[in-house]
């Protein structure tokens, strides 16, 4: 019973995520595309939560669902009067072919590859790690990946200062 419920939730989340993504690339009105992007991000956050990644799911909702989507909507509003670009979005057969080819290749690779899989029901100690992922992730980021952690902080700072400098009115 619980399994059937989880299955239903999975398929609903998958449909929301992929459907939202499809709307993003097909919707001609940019504001609607931006709103579909938020839907897709939230669906992906649900998928993360289903994969026992609660912390990343919350980060996804806060950063993508909150910050990035507000940025995108602002950018859409500030570049509003471009009917040419809005009308655009022609279905370019080459782009469709490239995307289809890429997906076919990836699907083939996924079907071919062999992984050593964890059992669907996690063994006790590992389950504890996933349930308490925030503290393990914190330790991991400040020990094994401390250099990358600091570098990414500097990168974000530089990007934000650069963004401010670019849009400043002179």
Partner 1 sequence: MLERYLLISALLFAIGLYGTLSRRHVVAVLISIELMLNGVNVALIAFSRYTVPAAVRLGGAGDAAAAGALTGQAFALFVIVVAAAEAALGLALVIALFRARGTADITEVSLMRR
CB atoms within 10 A of CB 86: 16
**Hey, which residues between 87 and 106 contact partner 1 (CB under 8 A)?**
88-92, 94-96, 98-100, 102-103, 106
User: Between residues 1 and 124, which has the closer beta carbon with respect to partner 1?
Assistant: 124
Q: Nearest distance from residue 9's CB to partner 1, in Å? A: 13
Q: Determine if 115 is a binding residue for partner 1 (CB under 8 A).
A: yes
Pair of tokens at residue 112? 């071919």
User: Between residues 1 and 87, which has the closer beta carbon with respect to partner 1?
Assistant: 87
Q: Nearest distance from residue 1's CB to partner 1, in Å? A: 18
Place of tokens 């500097």: 154
Binding mask 121-140 for partner 1 (x = CB under 8 A): ----xx--xx--x--xx-xx
Contacts 24+ apart (CB under 8 A), 96-102: none
Q: Determine if 8 is a binding residue for partner 1 (CB under 8 A).
A: no
Determine the Cα–Cα distance for residues 87 and 26; give it in Å rounded to an integer.
11
Q: Nearest distance from residue 2's CB to partner 1, in Å? A: 15
Q: Which of 2, 65, 85, 131 binds partner 1 (CB under 8 A)?
A: 85
**Hey, which residues between 14 and 73 contact partner 1 (CB under 8 A)?**
14, 17-18, 21-22, 24-25, 30, 33-34, 37, 40-41, 44, 47-48, 51-53, 55-56, 59-60, 63-64, 67-68, 71-72
Pair of tokens at residue 92? 């370019």
Task: For 121, list phi and psi in degrees, rounded to 5.
Answer: -90, 115
User: Between residues 8 and 160, which has the closer beta carbon with respect to partner 1?
Assistant: 160
Q: Which of 4, 1, 7, 72 is nearest to 33 (CA)?
A: 72
**Please, which residues have CB within 8 angstroms of residue 40's CB and are 6 or more apart in sequence?**
16, 17, 18, 19, 20, 21, 23, 24
């Amino acid at each position: 019973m619980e399994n059937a419920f989880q299955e239903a939730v999975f398929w609903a989340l998958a449909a929301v995520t992929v459907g939202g993504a499809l709307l993003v690339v097909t919707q001609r009105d940019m504001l609607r595309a931006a709103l579909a992007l938020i839907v897709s991000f939230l669906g992906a956050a649900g998928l993360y939560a289903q994969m026992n990644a609660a912390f990343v799911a919350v980060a996804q909702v806060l950063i993508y669902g909150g910050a990035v989507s507000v940025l995108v909507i602002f950018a859409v509003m500030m570049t509003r009067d471009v009917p040419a670009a809005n009308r655009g979005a022609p279905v370019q057969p080459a782009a469709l072919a490239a995307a289809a080819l890429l997906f076919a290749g990836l699907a083939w690779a996924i079907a071919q590859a062999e992984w050593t899989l964890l059992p669907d029901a996690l063994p006790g100690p590992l389950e504890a790690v996933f349930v308490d992922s925030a503290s393990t992730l914190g330790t991991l980021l400040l020990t094994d990946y401390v250099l990358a952690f600091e570098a990414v902080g500097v990168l974000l700072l530089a990007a934000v200062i650069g963004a401010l400098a670019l849009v400043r009115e002179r």
